[in-house]
Amino acid sequence: MGEPNGPFTYSANTIHSPTTRRFINHSQDELKRQAAQAAISYIGPKLNSKSIVGVGTGSTANCFIDELANIKHTFDAAVASSEETARRLSAHGVPVLDLNAAPALDVYVDGADEIDHNCNMIKGGGAALTREKIVAAAADEFVCIADASKLVARLGTFPLPVEVIPMARSLVARALVAMGGHPIWREGVITDNGNIILDVHGFDIAAPLELERRINNVAGVICNGIFAQQAANVAFLAGANGISTLDAKP
């Protein structure tokens, strides 16, 4: 997913009344919807009867799916980054293809847990990071959609998800500690690939691509949630003053 519904939404020291939480959730939902609509306006003119759209996972991606359903007659099919997304697309009557059956993906649209000004991201709050990265890599263009609160000067405040083969949990955790991180096992969560997630706190990610590659080189790591090699090409961020656009720098 692009973002979780779990403990990292607000800091542990922040206390909100039920009324305030409902207002915040409603406001964020509206911003996500606006970002999704901006993505539809951007990709819509590029689609044709042979186009295949890659779709991400999470609450923001769900808003995009709801909007995408309105133009499902303009493209051929979609490729989903998770079982949950496949179910939602199918419920809207959007044909879903396995990635192996898709000749090419015109575009991939997904949310982010954090995004910097160069369109590098942290993703994986919903444990779909590996499939998200695969579908992003297969697409001609990656469009990120998010509310403006996800924009950061430097990645690392959001805990970095790392998908790990279960038997390698302790081995990988020790390697992450040696890199300066504080990994916490996301207990009770199993990915669509049958693996576990370690959420790594404490990383100050000054060089996203370097750290992404370094973590991926650890035996037992399937994928980590830094999207620098698969950074977004363009991002639409919805805020109080409307939609702002980020373009990836060369």
Assess whether 210 carries a catalytic annotation: no
| Active-site pick, 67, 132, 163, 212 | 132
- In 3D space, the residue among 128, 146, 121 whose CA is nearest the CA of residue 63 turns out to be 146
Burial class (CB in 10 A: 0-12, 13-18, 19+), 202: middle
Alpha-carbon span 107 to 117, nearest angstrom: 21
Compute φ and ψ for 230, nearest 5 degrees. Answer: -110, 50
Chain-centroid distance, C-alpha 73: 26
Coil, helix or strand at residue 69: helix
Alpha-carbon span 242 to 103, nearest angstrom: 36
Alpha-carbon span 81 to 198, nearest angstrom: 20
Q: Which tokens go with 189?
A: 């969560």
∠ CA 163-164-166 to the nearest 5 degrees?
135
Q: Are strands 196-201 and 142-147 parallel, antiparallel or unpaired?
A: unpaired
Coil, helix or strand at residue 28: helix
What letter does residue 159 receive in the DSSP assignment?
Answer: P
Q: Could you tell me which residues come within 8 angstroms of residue 151 by beta carbon, excluding any fewer than 6 positions away?
A: 115, 116, 117, 237, 246
- The catalytic residues are 132
